[in-house]
Structure 1
Amino acid sequence: MTSTSAFDTTLAGLGITRSATGPSVAAASTANTTLGQADFLKLMTAQMQNQDPFSPVDNTQMVAQMAQFSSLAGISDMSTTLKAISTKLGATSTADALAYVGKTVLTAGDTAYGRTTGGLAGAVELGDAASEVNLTISDASGQIVHAEKLGAHTAGTVGYDWSGKDASGADAGTGPFTVSITAADNGKAVTATNLVWAPVESVSTASGSAVLTLPGLGTVPVTAVRQVG
């Protein structure tokens, strides 16, 4: 009958069982198969305490294994640190977020307000080339105050600028206006995202990422901003 050695006790503490017929080990079905630095040192100590005195552990191999483990641990720590630095650099700081207040941003939406100098500007993002792109602007009552054919364009961003006058030449006011876009390529619908300019009323960083409050559009993440004016 084979007595339980310190090595077996150490393995058992790690959730590993050793076969009674040989030195091979098998991980238990519910055991944690990941060994850390402390586990490695326990195993090495148990191995040295229970080594065959007539065939001791090769010092060269032991030192090489320790060096490899130390290198691996260092790389793992470095990777964790670099990820933390990357996350910090990629995040928008509170100061950066507050800088948006008072500015206008270009973002996806269908509600727009006229400029203080008159008129309205915006843009369209086309997913594919289009043989025709049509713009329609309606006032708060749903009445169309401006309709324009923007023509054919390749995939990408297409800008537009309306004077703020309706078909009769009268001033249509400052809005809010509802902007709609349709695009097609030889009769086949093309994906078109309408982009409008909106002033930033406030900024919130409570969720960990900066969120802008825009009139008529609600809250918009900073990542959704295409351009700052």
Structure 2
Amino acid sequence: MDFMTTQSTSPSVQSNSMGANTSSSQTSPAINSDFETFLKMLTTQMQNQDPLEPTDSTEFTAQLAQFSAVEQQVLTNETLATVSAQLASLSSTSMAGWIGMEARVAGLAHFDGATPVELYPMANEAADDAYLIVKDENGDEVDRVKIDPSAETVTWDGLDENGQPFPEGNYVFQTQSMAEGKELDTVLAETYTRINEAQASTGGMVLIGEGGAKYLSVDIVGLREPAKVES
């Protein structure tokens, strides 16, 4: 297998905001109506209590305090929901600017079946040996290549032991660092991938790279303009 190492060098916001304001304006009258109903019920209860065994005033106070606490909790939840929606809209807008850029990500990268993959191995500085480990989407190791631990970048040619290219797909790249025959650590190698799409999810913004590889925005460690292809 040929393995080379090289030294290197918003409409949505407005819509969500309007929706949140509408929800808040609709809920406030509902809370006020419920509070008025509660006061009427409380007044009726006081008017119809047994005069010989009147209800302790502290019980009325406790009921009023409980209702007030519920009211405040509802309003707090509405405020948090509004803020969350606005932040999500802002994140979506900012992530949209990443589409078409090349993001530096750890581990997962797409191999098109022909083009070698350039990687940043991130080997341990104390290593005297290092290996690039390649795993398929099922987590099975499909390739292991010895690399220079001091190399800033390495290129995986994507060829098996018979010189045939591995199938097109997403692969996970790891770097195992060794010193005096003992493993120091195994970390995810990094590479650049073009961002084709940004999606909102419950876990945050998800960026879609080449081959449908998915990355959380917090996994992006670098961003650069794509290289211009000369005609």
Q: Which has the higher helix share?
A: 2
Task: Give me the TM-score of the superposition, normalised by structure 1.
Answer: 0.49
Larger-gyration structure (1/2):
1
Task: Give me the TM-score of the superposition, normalised by structure 2.
Answer: 0.48
